[in-house]
């Protein structure tokens, strides 16, 4: 009688299979985390774009107040307190400056509520970009376009804060208004 050979897997083969399985699970988890981060940034970008576009429309409708009221906005929800409500004028006693202040109040409220340490700025800026990234600093100048910048304290994929060249947290969205008043 001939002895039967044992069949099955060796311990080494089982360990190699477990290693390959573990690497696959780790890769899938890393992809899931990246997808969640990209989705969150996309949601924030979309919300910021909608806010900037809405503010641009309000500014076009009330373009006489761009220089006097709208260009004064530089709001940082992380550093500034909760904005106080402007006086209300329900019975048609509002002038265009009061409407502009109400627009800014509403924008501040939305930025504070929708973004992690959100920030909003309206300024004249001919060079919104620096080294391929948006920046908060504004160049000013009478010929520069009016820009609505909305952002938040974002992070790079490695977890470090996303900052511009000046060391400030980089804005997420900047929308330039074409053909607006002074």
User: pLDDT (tens digit, 9 = 90+) per residue, 124-168?
Assistant: 988 887 777 788 888 887 788 899 999 887 777 777 777 766 667
User: What DSSP line would sit under 44-92, residue for residue?
Assistant: HHHHHHHHHHHHHHHHHHTGGGTTTTGGG-EEETTTSPPPPPPPP-TTS
Global pTM value: 0.77
Residues 124, 71: contact at Cβ < 8 Å? Answer: yes
Check pLDDT > 60 for residue 182: no
Q: How far is CA 164 from CA 106, 137, 153, 155, 171, in A?
A: 27, 9, 11, 12, 8
User: pLDDT (tens digit, 9 = 90+) per residue, 62-107?
Assistant: 988 988 899 989 998 888 877 778 877 766 678 888 889 999 999 9
Nearest to 149 by CA among 66, 27, 45: 45
Residues 134, 119: contact at Cβ < 8 Å? Answer: no
- Strand bridging mode 133-134 / 146-151: unpaired
Nearest to 75 by CA among 119, 106, 125: 119
Query: Residue 6's pLDDT band (boundaries 50, 70, 90)?
Result: low
């Amino acid at each position: 009688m001939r002895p039967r050979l044992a069949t099955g897997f060796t311990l080494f083969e089982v360990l190699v299979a477990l290693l390959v399985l573990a690497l696959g699970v780790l890769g899938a988890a890393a992809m899931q985390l990246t997808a969640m981060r990209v989705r969150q940034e996309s949601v924030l970008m979309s919300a910021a774009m909608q806010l900037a576009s809405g503010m641009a429309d309000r500014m076009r409708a009330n373009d006489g107040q761009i220089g006097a009221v709208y260009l004064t906005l530089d709001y940082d929800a992380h550093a500034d307190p909760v904005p106080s409500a402007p006086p209300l004028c329900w019975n048609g006693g509002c002038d265009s400056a009061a409407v502009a202040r109400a627009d800014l109040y509403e924008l501040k409220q939305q930025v504070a509520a929708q973004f992690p340490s959100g920030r909003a700025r309206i300024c004249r800026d001919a060079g919104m970009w620096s080294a391929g990234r948006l920046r908060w600093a504004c160049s000013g100048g009478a010929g520069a376009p009016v820009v609505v910048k909305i952002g938040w304290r974002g992070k790079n994929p490695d977890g470090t804060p996303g900052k511009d060249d000046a060391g400030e947290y980089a804005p997420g969205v900047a929308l330039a208004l074409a053909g607006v008043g002074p």
